[in-house]
A and B are shown apart, each in its own frame.
Chain A
Amino acid sequence: MKALLKKVVETFGPSGREDAIRQLLLDEIKPYVDRTFIDNMGNLHAVKEGKGARVMVAAHMDEIGFVVTHIDEKGFLRISPVGGVAPVRCLYQRVLLENGARGVVGVESVKNPNDIDFSKLYVDIGARDEKEARKLAQEGLFGAFLNEMTEMNGLITAKSLDDRVGCVIAVEAARQLKKSPNEIHFVFTVQEEVGLRGAIAAAYNIEPDLGIALDVTGTGDTPDAPKMPMKLREGVAVKIKDNSLLVPRRVKDFFMRVAEKNKIIYQPEILTFGGTDAGAINLSRSGVLAGCLSIPTRYIHSVSETASLSDIEEAIKLLVKILESDVKKELED
């Protein structure tokens, strides 16, 4: 799982440019499912057939990034964010453009660090002048951040754990799944970071009985953190609410019941901001029961997102057990 996670987090794929990560995930999951296809939006579907409930498992494969908007006369690039990118978190980060060019983010001199916004940032791609820069890069190219995954005492630190960790949980669950009565659609969604857009189209297409998003969530376990119940190393988080979804009680209870029955370590999640693909699935057509399994993660939307390997293992176990249950029966009133 760790080797797969390293490969997956380090692969390029900002929202709208998910080609490379989609190909990798397709190769990884194909042996474990009955069929795969890519829909009009670019979502990757991997389906395990079954006669029971239709379950959509969504993990978004896009990551935050940027688009090149301008190249100046000295050969520096100006950029605009794709998804929720905080300007200060870009400082001096290494970046990769979709054409393979590399760069580093610099900043104009500012008196007050609070004044740093995207108009003050630029990307240095090593060009001597505008002419050379235009050979290396063009306006409209997408880019993403670079960082290697590292391990520290059972925690892992990497870029784009949001939400490549969800993608890996889905692949691992597909691999470990033995017998399931359900028709399971593993969907690696696009464009979550710009408004849950891939999941909207995928859910409309699938018409699931149950949606399960796999994603990261914030924690309250760092110095002076906002008061939140989630902590690293305390298990997979079962979502109760975020800004996109109030998880229906029967869904939350079902997930917790399965966890308790199988002695899987879990914690309740209450997030007062943000949303996941589950919110989009919930609002599809005349409404879909949906929930979310989350990985408590520190420093979300930085190049050093940090989570616990043990929580990821618990998430895989819980997802497998949920998918192996008779979902139709479990969700009865």
Chain B
Amino acid sequence: MKTEDMLKALTEAPGISGAEDDVAHLLRNYFARLADEATIDKFQNVIGVKKGRTSGGKVMMAAHIDQIGFLVKTFDKGGFIRLAAVGGHDPRVLPGQSVVIYGKEQVRGIIGTTPPHLQKPGDTAKITSLDDLYVDTGLDEITLKSKVQVGDPVLFDNVCTELQGGLYAGAAMDNRAGVLVLLETLKILEKMRHDWDVYMVGTVQEEVGTRGAAMTAYEIAPDVGIAIDVTFGDFPGIPERDTAKLGKGGAVAIGPNFHPALTEKLMELAQEWEVPFQKEFIPRPGGTDAVSMQIAARGVPMVQVSIPLRYMHTTVETLDLKDIKRAARLLALFAAQLEQTHREVLG
């Protein structure tokens, strides 16, 4: 399984928060090939378990499989659809997008907008809110309603595009990039000795409040947790201190959500094995699975590694494949010697 092919398959599989079935099944099939067990729970969380030599502890690596999208909210006269947001959208990037409605059958549509010629002076400076946007499918109201119901998921029509220099762009890189890190880590662990059992979890409903991570971390009750997500990649016009650089490795999170000694150990390992990495400072509980994993069950010591990603929550989220491979190498090294680390740091 080539990394590039898995990225394309993972990002193009639909998986809006709350209806992650397609991407969940794809991931389970990948886990079935790389881990000892692969299951899907009743909320579509996907769990792959790779047994260790001693099974002396459990490490849970979580990457969310859901993506932001919309639900059909109401029908307007003439067959237009109004949308309810699932997850955080930037209304600036919505007009002019192609979408797919997952109704009784897939229905294609576009998000319409007023042409510049018909706008009033000053309109271009205004941002149209989601409430004022609509989807045009070309179908009349009656035909439309026979195929589409209130509550059906709507996603951007997504194609994963290879740019130059090893960069890839598309929707849902947040957080299929993290999911790919889980898979690449498993590939490396196949050739390594590791003592602890490794639980790879594709979590659901992160974009609406890190819900799948809360459920699975309670169920698994790991000794150490690792959240894998995306972080803001560098691009023109944004201060360097707020971003991580594409191509410079995974970003290791530092902040109150993350166990200081385990985090330190992770960075020591990176230096020892010359795996490029960056630091990311998260001064207050952030928006990743780590926030709910940390306080699940009796509490879980956490670390977090993020893939730098430009243009988050758009259809052109852009990343460097190198960062995924480097993050995976680091996490495999970390997981392989966790029994010893845990004894030193938390024992």
Contact = CB atoms under 8 A, between A and B. Distances in A.
Given A240-B150, A248-B42, A283 B214 contact: yes
Interface string A257-286: 000000000001010100000000011011
Nearest to B73: A270
Q: Is the interface of A mostly helix, strand, loop or mixed?
A: loop
B149 A241 contact: no
Contact of A240 (B42, B43, B151, B218): B151
A227 B208 contact: no
Interface stretch (B79-87, B249-257, B277-285, B304-312): B79-87
A220 B71 contact: no
B18 interface: yes
A171 to B, nearest CB: 30
Q: For chain B, which range describes its interface: under 10, 10 to 19, 20 to 34, or 35 or more residues?
A: 20 to 34
A285 B41 CA distance: 14
Interface in B194-233: 205, 208, 211-212, 214-216, 218-219
Contact of A270 (B42, B71, B216): B71
A84 interface: no
Find the residue from A227, A252, A287 having the highest chain B CB count within 10 A: A287
B74 A228 contact: yes
Contacts of B208: 243, 246
Interface string B56-87: 00000000000000010110000000101110
Q: For chain A, which range describes its interface: under 10, 10 to 19, 20 to 34, or 35 or more residues?
A: 20 to 34
A305 to B, nearest CB: 23
Contacts of A282: 211
Given A227-B131, A287-B42, A287-B43, A270 B151 contact: yes
A318 interface: no
Nearest to B17: A246
A252 B153 CA distance: 14
A195 interface: no
Find the residue from A249, A270, A333 having the highest chain B CB count within 10 A: A270
Given A240-B71, A289-B42, 12 more contacts: A227-B74, A227-B82, A240-B151, A246-B18, A246-B19, A248-B43, A270-B84, A286-B41, A286-B215, A287-B45, A287-B212, A287-B215
Interface of B: 17-19, 41-43, 45, 71, 73-74, 82, 84-86, 131, 149-151, 205, 208, 211-212, 214-216, 218-219
